[in-house]
Amino acid sequence: MSIYILSIESSCDDTCAAIIKDNKILASVVSSQQVHKFYGGVVPELASRAHQQNIVPVVERALKIAKINKKQLNAVAFTRGPGLLGSLLVGVSFAKAFALGLSIPLIEVDHLQAHILAHFIQEQGASSVTPLFPFLCLTVSGGNTQINIVKGYFDMEIIGKTIDDAAGETFDKCAKIMELPYPGGPVIDNYAKKGNADAFKFSKPNIKGLNFSFSGLKTSFLYFLRDQLKENSNYIQENKYDLCASIQRVIVLILMEKLKKASLHTGIKEIAIAGGVSANSFLRDSLLKAQKQLGWNVFIPKNEYCTDNAAMIAIVAYYKFLKKDFASQRVAPYARSGTKT
Ligand code: KG4
């Protein structure tokens, strides 16, 4: 008998629902909240209100695309954390009520684990190659930057992480300094295609081991532009493509340097990337180059599974369902990793 699971993702500013049948995704719906564009970043209170408005239509749409009736569902999964507490609460409360109403189990999923296990998403009618354990995964999103050794679906070890800002946050903040729209990562990626990445030199931080730091780079970018603007108020406008290409280059160089070090240190050549920043075209190209030069076996998710989505929650839920790893109705969300109660 097949297993059908509805999954909900509401950790930040995307309201997402997916339906999985065994390990095959039948539907994955994402409703991105537009309201934050006016503010240059996510406003938590507005995000939770928008989730409340979006969640019912998004779930209805997922059920319709999957062509299943809610009575066929065997479980409801949700992102428990990390993320914005108000946003998570909407998804968690919805999932609890839905599971209670249908008398089916609840499954809690960790958002970062889901980004990594997105590599195991299978689509109906398509076969895809998945990484072999153990593999290294560089997870780069708006709130996190870390390298994990992934030894099994539920056996992961963090071997490096950011000591301050995340890579996605750095893209977004540098874009904001240049008065580009939010989220800045995709805009920088696009503008960079028309620019010269060697036009400006921004220095990489000197952080020992496999940890990352981005706050110094962000500050040096801010001060550099502040000085240039004193001389020429049109400086950003006149150089925006080169500025985007140059800042993108250094962010990706920092990520690649640590990933190469991690591979050397662990001897693992099975390499994956995950999270919103893994949609970045220069990072993708750099990985493919490393695949050729270093003999890596590289895994890059489809763009729609890089940024927040519920298909990644569904695949984790499927493996948890097989273990009968269910959550209680008293479960509460957590804002940060390591703060579960
Ligand atoms: O994983 P995600 O959707 O949300 C979480 O933070 O969990 O990641 C969002 C981040 C944002 O910082 C966004 O600017 C960045 O991913 N991003 C990109 C690109 N697409 C999204 N950064 C660089 N290049 C891109 N193409």
The CATH number of domain 4-127+305-322 is 3.30.420.40 = yes
CB of 104 within 8 A of CB of 74?
A: yes
Distance, CA 279 to ligand 1 centroid (Å)?
7
CB atoms within 10 A of CB 71: 8
Distance (angstroms) between ligand 1 centre and the Cα of 101 equals 35
Closest CA to 108 of 259, 325, 285, 268: 325
Q: Which fold does the domain 135-302 belong to in CATH?
A: Nucleotidyltransferase; domain 5 (3.30.420)
pTM: 0.94
Domains 4-127+305-322 and 135-302 in one fold = yes
User: pLDDT tens digits for 236-286?
Assistant: 999 999 999 999 999 999 999 999 999 999 999 999 999 999 999 999 999
> Amino acid identity of 140?
V
**Residues 25, 311 contacting (CB under 8 angstroms):** yes
12 CB contacts (<8 Å, ≥6 apart)? 42, 47, 83, 84, 87, 142, 143, 308
Tell me if 82 CB under 6 Å of ligand 1. no
Ligand 1 pocket mutation pick from 109, 249, 277 by most atoms within 8 angstroms of CB: 277
CA 166 – ligand 1 centroid, Å: 10
Q: Where are the domains of the chain?
A: 4-127+305-322, 135-302
Question: Does the CB atom of residue 276 touch ligand 1 within 6 A?
Answer: yes
Whose Cα sits closest to atom 23 in ligand 1?
185
Query: pLDDT tens digit string along 99-133?
Result: 999 999 999 999 999 999 999 999 987 778 899 99
168 CA: nearest ligand 1 atom: 12
Please report, in angstroms and rounded to a whole number, the separation of the first and last CA atoms in the chain.
35
pLDDT in tens, 139-184: 999 889 999 999 999 999 999 999 999 999 999 999 999 999 989 9
Q: Are 37 and 182 in contact (CB under 8 A)?
A: yes
Residue 279 Cα: closest atom of ligand 1: 26
Give the pLDDT of residue 341.
63
Q: Indicate if the pLDDT at residue 325 is higher than 70.
A: yes
Regarding the beta carbon of 83 and ligand 1, being less than 6 Å apart is answered no
